[in-house]
Amino acid sequence: MIHGVDLTRWILPAAFVAAGLALGILWEALFLRGLRKRARQSRWRWDDVVLDSVGGVGLVWLTVAGLYAALAVVPLSPEVKTVVRKILMAAVLLSFTLVAARAASRGVEVWARHARGGMPSTSLLQNLARILVLAFGLFLILQNLGVQVTAIVTGLGIGGLAVALALQDTLSNLFSGFQILLAGQVQSGDFVQLDSGEEGYISDIQWRNTTMRSRIDDHIIIVPNSKLANTIVTNYARPVHDFWVKVDVGVAYDSDLEEVEEVTLGVAREVLDEAGVAAGTDPVLRYNAFGDSSIDFTVRMRIEDWGRQFEIRHAFIKRLHARYGEVGIQIPFPIRTVYAPDGVSIRRGDRAEEEGPAGR
């Protein structure tokens, strides 16, 4: 006994608490770690969701269990025990809420990844699921502590009007984000171009803005959701990822057009085969104009990835120029024929000569 306190009466409660703490540490360090290793080896992803969600809370639950057991034998007044039990119950509810919030967030990610129709996995959906679970858990905790939840809900409803007026831009971006997700026309990973000129791959759709990764320098482009929802967007990934690469070419008027078509399409096939991006459609060549100095045509090559169009166009132009040189097909320079009336002086270098009819 120390200062009138009988320590022997506290040994058993302390042993309960220590036992719960020790079991919690063993659960986290040994049992749960082994389950996670086995779960990562399986193809089923929902076991990873469950095990990642309960990480860390096993220690809390077993420690709280030890505290409950200690509370039954600890020498405290009934009023104090009642307060402690409410606090412990609130801790358990909070831990369950955190587990459910983690599971909801990870579950949305896994479900979106495997859902038909390509439902996007974005921060907006994951955060929404997490917030809804946390709000429900908070109400349960408040009810357990004896707080009047009805009065809080009424107050939130009245105050929500003032908040909505103060956060008009934020709410506009939030609902625009939901509109983008529900429409399904723009999703993570798509390559898009805005009518204002910005272009890039959609990285994430968040509660306030959408982030795009620039194709050229990997910089991040941040676009407010309200602007993205109200602008003209060209999505090069939908409804299909295939894309036509177009190259304009001109050959001399004395060229054999059948030979030109055969050689050009052969080069296009070689480039696509070597790059491994052919979308299963043969290249197409169409003559389209009698130019000032050439017969003009367009070559179209269908590829699977929009982002590789510049690489394909670069390789095709180099290969085509070399092949034309080998077979003698001429790509002419711009030519202008000038007619001058009799007696007009035409300067050639440093000389000025009188040109007659024969010199025109």
Overall residue count recorded for the chain in this entry: 360
What pLDDT is stored for residue 283 in this prediction?
92
Give 339's DSSP letter. -
Rounded Cα–Cα distance for residues 295 and 143 (Å)? 82
**Eight-class DSSP state of 185:** S
Q: Is 203 helix (H, G, I), strand (E, B) or coil?
A: strand
Q: What is the sign of the dihedral through the CA atoms of 81, 83, 88 and 92?
A: positive
Cis amide bond preceding 239, omega within 30:
yes
Question: What's residue 132's pLDDT?
Answer: 82
| CB burial string 209-225: b at 16+ within 10 A, e below | bbbbbeeeeeeebebbb
* Under 8 Å between Cβ of 323 and 267: yes
d(CA 185, CA 182): 8
* Nearest C-alpha neighbor of 312 from the set 267, 263, 262, 250: 267
Q: What is the pLDDT of residue 153?
A: 62
- Residue 356's pLDDT is 46
Q: What is the pLDDT of residue 358?
A: 45
Report the SS3 class of residue 67.
Answer: helix
Q: Do the beta carbons of residue 246 and residue 300 sit within 8 Å?
A: yes
Peptide bond preceding 341 in cis form (omega within 30 of 0): no
SS3 at position 165:
helix
What is the model's pTM? Answer: 0.49
CB 250 within 8 A of CB 235: no
Determine the angle formed by the axes of helices 149-166 and 123-144, rounding to 10 degrees: 150
Residue 279's nearest CA partner among 244, 306, 303, 301 is 303
pLDDT digits (tens, 9 = 90+) for 227-244: 888 888 888 777 777 788
Residue 304 is classified by DSSP as S
- The closest of 191, 229, 153 to 305, measured between CA atoms, is 191
CA distances 282 to 53, 144, 242, 303, 338, Å, are 50, 69, 13, 10, 43
Q: What is the pLDDT of residue 188?
A: 79
The DSSP H or E segment spanning 302 is strand 295-303
Alpha-carbon Rg for the chain, nearest whole angstrom, is 37
Give pLDDT, residue 177.
Answer: 78
pLDDT by residue (tens digit) across 305-316? 777 888 899 999
Q: Give the pLDDT of residue 45.
A: 63
DSSP-derived secondary structure for 97-109: HHHHHHHHHHHHH
Q: Which residues pair with 347 in a beta bridge?
A: 352
The residue to which tokens 């025109």 are assigned:
360
Compute the half-sphere exposure of residue 102: CA atoms within 13 Å on the CB side of its CA. Answer: 16
Give the model's pLDDT for residue 320.
95
Low-confidence ranges of the chain (pLDDT < 70): 1-10, 30-52, 55-56, 110-122, 148-168, 279, 335-337, 343-360
Q: How many CB atoms lie within 10 A of CB 1?
A: 8
Q: What is the pLDDT of residue 27?
A: 73
